[in-house]
Structure 1
């Protein structure tokens, strides 16, 4: 019988992962048990995706705010520091901010507006227009912000982030001054020691500040790159990709993930005889159309993956073929013509009209987003995702 199902994404339940657990064995055992329970088999190029959270947890990759404070103090001098372009997030940034503030006497916190880098809104764009504020040129003090906009609560969390971040800094023992600006160089009117907290624009921000004469310019990816007092660390991303664990600790982005995915792939091969692709995934790369929040607060969707997941899709648009190349055909003749076209398509379709609208994004970003949407961020209890049929096409 002809196969009628394409891509399938399954959330796989697993035990609660603790530090020191043999995660490679747990992942493989959980996937195999799911196959037995649900009656499905495995195939070459199936994908096992594991959320970064359980990888980091098994590694024990945590840091305390005192460790962050010590690193910040050494690297930025411990006096007045500029902390610029952080995202508005209790989960992603609040505990990091506590540690940063403990490592300084004064924090000048500079927020981008009307929204942070990932789309959390501080001010509604329509209000900017109404008040005659130009976000590309104007600089707002906290006093001016309050005068114009009052107390603004985030629509999803109900938090006044200016108030929330101010209190965190003061409670951590530092003075605080808050300004709003989208020009990195604005911070140099207050201090020449700057910690850039943006994620995907961090390299540009650092470059601008260094060229403008800042004496010290670091990013979150430069903090906690080595162990401090026995803490966890991430040599590539530092504090980027970290999450709140407790009120005084963060779980860092996992390290040494290349070893992990290779070991899972090898054990899956041993147990199933199939060449299974494996990846570690964090946030998916997609944007919420209502809240306008771009999900990707991690530095990358996938910190590690097996070689078969390298590259981008090379696909044709079926509706384009049906409406153009084979507009005169229907039924079995149309199906066979399209199938034959796919079987003989060029190895690289870049720039050809037949590939328009086929989402030429990296495979790891696409598959990682699918995995993130499948697992969710709440209580589903499925930190492992099995994706099957992703690499099939209309001819299979």
Structure 2
């Protein structure tokens, strides 16, 4: 029978997970119940994607603001600390700022302008363009910033982030700058809070004479007074749980995906791949926000998901090789062309327009969009047919 459906995704509903729950058993049962109830046939190379939040909740991977504050004081001496380039987020960073402030240190909160690392704007770009400010070298205090930006509020949340952050850290000053080295005039101790630029920023600061230079992935790398922790990512990938608690990025992900894959293969008799996913890697065209506030899209995945797609562009082949054929002949020719494509296609013209990204980044983005971030209640995503192509029947 000819197939008329290619890739399809299913957001699977699951129970509300708490610390200590057997997540391998729960996910496996959720896939089984969905497949039986909705007559979904499970196949080889299907992918079961589990959101990082579910894994972290089952692990109980949480830390309180007091525990985070203690680790800040464990790792930074002195009475002042630069908090450099945090993103503008109530969910992601405000709770961390609250914890950092509890350290008792005077904080110098340094924000990049006109936007943060992931595209949240602090001001209207045209207001900056029409000013005499040079964003590459000028350091602004709050009054100077307000003269240009006014009471600018975030497009989606309606939040004035400079006001929010200074309210959350009473013993603080706020500055606006883009050259990280300029932050050293406030203190030689710096907590780098950017996500994807953290390593180059730390290197710049150290070469410029910074003394104690750490980033968010250096904080909460081990348990503090019984807290959760993440030895690889620390506070990166964390978000607000309650007013005084932070949910950390899950740890030991490789163990989880391996056990879940083993369980699913035993249950269905198919070679099913498994991954943990967080934020997708895509950019919002209206708010201009790059969604990826986690350090990676997928912190753990099974071996079958390694690598990048190896695909040819149907449009390119159709326009350049089969333009003069009838619809039936060019369809048949395309099926034959794809079935005989080379395994190594890097740099070939027939790949023009394909997406050269990691498979896990693509799948994670697909899963993130499918599950949503609110009340859909589908933290498990089943992806089918992702590795099929036009020549597969």
* Band of TM-score, shorter chain: over 0.9
Stretch moving more, 77-86 or 305-314? 77-86
1:213 equivalent to 2:209? Answer yes
The corresponding residue for 2:53 is 53
Of 252, 259, 269 in structure 2, the residue corresponding to residue 263 of structure 1 is: 259
Following the alignment from structure 1 to structure 2, what is the Cα–Cα distance between the partners of residues 217 and 361?
32
Closer/same/farther in 2, CA of residues 204 and 104 from structure 1, 3 Å limit = farther
For 2:299 and 2:385, the matched residues in 1 are separated by: 23
Write out aligned runs for 1:242-281 (5 A). Answer: 242-281=238-277
Residues paired across the two proteins, number = 392
| Matching residue of 2:279 | 283
Instruction: Give the aligned partner of residue 373 of structure 1.
Output: 369
Counterparts of 2:315 and 2:184, CA distance in 1: 54
CA offsets, 1:360-379, max 9 Å, x none? Answer: 10000000000000000000
Query: TM-score normalized by structure 2?
Result: 0.99
Give the distance between the partners of 2:60 and 2:181, measured in 1 at CA: 38
Where do 1:156-175 residues align within 5 Å? 156-170=156-170, 175=171
**Is 1:185 paired with 2:175?**
no
Superposed counterparts of 1:1-396, under 5 Å: 1-170=1-170, 175-396=171-392
Do the aligned partners of 2:87 and 2:194 also contact (CA within 8 Å) in 1?
A: yes
2: CA distance, partners of 1:98 / 1:193? 18
Q: Is the 8 A contact 1:81 1:104 kept in 2?
A: no
SS in structure 2 of the partner of residue 381 of structure 1: coil
Q: Please give the per-residue CA displacement for 1:242-266, whole angstroms capped at 9, x wherever unaligned.
A: 0100011100000000000011100
Helix, strand or coil at the partner of 1:152:
coil
Gapped runs of 5+ residues in structure 1? none
Give 1:219 deviation, angstroms: 0.2
Measure the CA separation in 2 of the matches of 1:36 and 1:77. Answer: 59
Instruction: Give the superposition deviation at 1:333.
Output: 1.7
Q: Please report how far the alpha carbon of residue 315 of structure 1 lies from its aligned counterpart in structure 2 after TM superposition.
A: 0.3
For residue 134 of structure 1, report the CA deviation from its aligned partner. Answer: 2.3
User: Given the two structures, how large is their TM-score scaled by the length of structure 1?
Assistant: 0.98
1:48 Cα offset (Å): 0.1
- Is this contact kept in 2: 1:88–1:161, CA < 8 A? yes
In structure 2, C-alpha distance between the alignment counterparts of 1:135 and 1:388, rounded to whole Å: 47
Which 4+ runs in 1 deviate beyond 6 A?
Answer: none
CA contact (8 A) 1:285 1:296 kept: yes
Asked whether the equivalents of residues 11 and 384 of structure 1 are also in contact (C-alpha less than 8 Å), the reply is yes
SS at match of 2:90: coil
Provide the rounded CA distance (Å) in 2 between the counterparts of 1:307 and 1:113.
40
Report the CA distance between 1:78 and its aligned residue.
4.7
Look up the SS of the partner of 1:131 in the other structure: coil
Q: 2:327 & 2:152 partners in 1: Cα distance?
A: 58
- Quick check: 1:17–1:58 contact (8 Å CA) kept in 2? yes
Q: Distance in 2 between matches of 1:86 and 1:167?
A: 15
In 1, the alpha carbon distance for the partners of 2:194 and 2:221 equals 17
Q: Is the 8 A contact 1:72 1:78 kept in 2?
A: no
SS in 1 for 2:82: strand
Q: 1:78, 1:104 within 8 Å by CA — same for their partners in 2?
A: no
Aligned alpha-carbon RMSD (Å): 0.8
Cα deviation, residue 338, structure 1: 1.3
**C-alpha distance in 2, partners of 1:35/1:98?**
44
Q: For residues 147 and 381 of structure 1, what CA distance do their matches in structure 2 show?
A: 44
Q: CA deviation at 1:291?
A: 0.3
